[in-house]
Amino acid sequence: MRQVKGMEQPVLQIIGVLHGDIVSRDDAPKNYSESQRAGTLEIYPEYRDGLDGIVAGQTIVVLFWLHQASREVLKVYPRGDRSRGLRGVFATRSPIRPNPLAISELQVLAVDGCRIEVSGLDILDGTPIVDIKKTLSQ
């Protein structure tokens, strides 16, 4: 693994976990823009201060760590369609990639302390959350 001079190897902090009803990849929408599935972002209490300002009605950008995805493969069939041939993972939205980070834009339905109800999910139940951001469009 590459080391950047003078920099520690980046280790992610898990800030929370997704609770949802998608339990297998076959059941998952191909991406968030095709989903109305709802679920809950459970953020761990030590990160609660970071949520101040997130309110119902917003769209937020959520980064998930797809801990079940392969990190060793650099070419895939986009959306599983073999007719179009292999493509580099960086030219796709495949969960398979060296750092399996997923970006979702989710609608905030409600906020209750450390629990954020969202819709638009394409991510499996139990997936770790590593970041939340404001969208640029707001």
Which of 88, 96, 107 has the alpha carbon at shortest distance from 39? 107
- Say how far apart CA 87 and CA 68 lie, in whole Å: 21
Among 69, 115, 125, 128, indicate the residue that binds a copy of itself (CB under 8 A): 128
Phi (first) and psi of residue 118, to 5 degrees = -135, 160
Q: How far is the CB of 63 from a copy of itself (least distance, A)?
A: 6
118 near a copy of itself, judged by CB under 8 A: no
Q: Are 32 and 38 in contact (CB under 8 A)?
A: no
Residue 70 is a binding residue for a copy of itself (CB under 8 A): no
Binds a copy of itself by CB under 8 A, chosen from 56, 87, 110, 113: 87
Nearest to 118 by CA among 55, 50, 31: 55
110 binds a copy of itself (CB under 8 A): no
Q: Is 18 in the site for a copy of itself (CB under 8 A)?
A: no
In sequence order, the 6+-apart residues with CB closer than 8 A to the CB of 113 are 48
Using CB under 8 A as the criterion, which residues of the chain lie in contact with a copy of itself when the complex forms?
1-4, 7, 9-15, 17, 31-33, 43-44, 47, 49-54, 60-61, 63, 65, 67, 71, 74-75, 86-93, 97-99, 101, 103, 128, 130-134, 136
